[in-house]
Each structure stands twice: as C-alpha cells, then as structure tokens.
Chain A
C-alpha cells in the first residue's frame, strides 16, 4: 500500500495567517491526491481533488498544489472556523490510503 505522510502533525497559527500543510507519498501518485477537512466531532468534508481542483462550494482561500510524490495544501487568511484536522488521500493506486492528519489550532 502507498504510505501517505503529512507534516506537520499539528500546527498553531493566528487569525489572518497563511498556513501550508505538506503530504508526501511513498511512490508516484501522479496528481491523484485529495484533501479533506474534519472539524471536531464532525464528518470529513472534501476540499480539493486532483491535487489542485477545488471542490464545488469550497472557498478559494483553500488551494492545493503538487504532483508525483509531494503535495501541499495552503490556507490563506486563516479564520477561527478553519480549526480542524486536515487529511490527504491518494487515489492513484489500490487501495486508497490517507495521511495521518494535521491538526490545525488557532492561536
């Protein structure tokens, strides 16, 4: 199975900051990478697919980039409601696998 490694595992940032989360695949996954947001006590919601395509209804403050093995999720103008854990997921190879998550805290 492809291993997905996220970094950092947690981070704390201030309102208005720009934050970047990294996801690394153990082998080439082309651009078959998705990002999800999971707020405390809630189900995951989809943010980005195909590494950089924004899911319908997701604000443009979220963006994704990368290809191959290295990917990033960027959140601009951080707001209190962005408090959540963010997961990446590869869907290039069977079975689909997820990163361990990055917990984002707001200072």
Chain B
C-alpha cells in the first residue's frame, strides 16, 4: 500500500527549531515531489514548499524563506522539513503530501501524510 508516515508530535519553545519527517512507502520515492502544507488551529491549509526527492532541489513559499529547510534521504525514502526560529503562530499541524506528477511538478496533492502536530509554548 502507498503511504506517507510522519513523525510524532512535538512541543517546542519559541526560538527553537523543529524537524518533521515523512517516510514514503509503496511507490518510487524519487518519482514524486513532496510538498509541505500546514494547518493552524481553526484555520485553512497553507502551502509551505516542495522538495524534489530525485535531485534534492527545493522551493519554499516566500513567507517561509530563510526559516525552512527541506531535505531528503533517498536511502530510507524519507523527506524532512525543518522550521527554525519558531514562534507561537507556528503552532499547527504539518502535513507532507505527494505530488501527482511523475518526475515533474503537477501541483495536485494525491496522497497525504497523517500530519504532525507542532506546538510552540514557553
């Protein structure tokens, strides 16, 4: 079966960093871009960026540039999203999602992870 399995919930202090993992199974990891999307409490969905697992190329939304780093380890089919200088308004569920495109960006997210809850609290 095709799955994206994310790491567990995190509680961080303001100013700290968090790194969320997303392990793919059931498909060729390098064949599909991985996107990161977050959802703050009671809010809608917000796209953060993508990583090409094949090349390692990344692109992030302007809002997160300078604070987010996306990486991958192809040996274990896992993508990572690290967010630095955390603030209280970074409290959210963070989702990884697979791009439908085959070795290209299609921008439609056809498979989602179950999400990782990140709580920022002093």
Residues of A within 8 A of B (CB): 32, 34, 36, 42-46, 49-50, 55, 87, 89, 91, 95-101
Looking across the interface, which residue of chain A has its beta carbon closest to that of B100? A49
User: Is B45 within 8 A of A44, CB to CB?
Assistant: yes
CB distance from B9 to the nearest CB of A (A): 13
Q: Indicate if B114 sits at the interface (CB-CB under 8 A).
A: yes
| Known A87-B45, A95-B47, A95-B61: A44·B95 in contact at CB below 8 Å | yes
* Residues of A contacting B106 in the complex (Cβ-Cβ under 8 angstroms): 91
Looking across the interface, which residue of chain A has its beta carbon closest to that of B61? A95
CB distance from B18 to the nearest CB of A (A): 18
| Known A34-B108, A49-B100: A43·B113 in contact at CB below 8 Å | yes
Q: Indicate if B103 sits at the interface (CB-CB under 8 A).
A: no
Q: Indicate if B27 sits at the interface (CB-CB under 8 A).
A: no
Q: Report Cα–Cα, A94/B115, bound state, in Å.
A: 23
Interface size class, chain B: 10 to 19
Q: Report Cα–Cα, A101/B44, bound state, in Å.
A: 7
Q: Which of B47, B62, B100, B112 contacts A45 (CB 8 A)?
A: B112
Q: Indicate if B110 sits at the interface (CB-CB under 8 A).
A: yes
The 8 tightest CB contacts between A and B, nearest first, are A91-B107, A98-B45, A49-B108, A43-B112, A100-B44, A43-B114, A96-B47, A46-B110
* Residues of B contacting A98 in the complex (Cβ-Cβ under 8 angstroms): 44-47
Looking across the interface, which residue of chain A has its beta carbon closest to that of B59? A94
CB distance from B40 to the nearest CB of A (A): 12
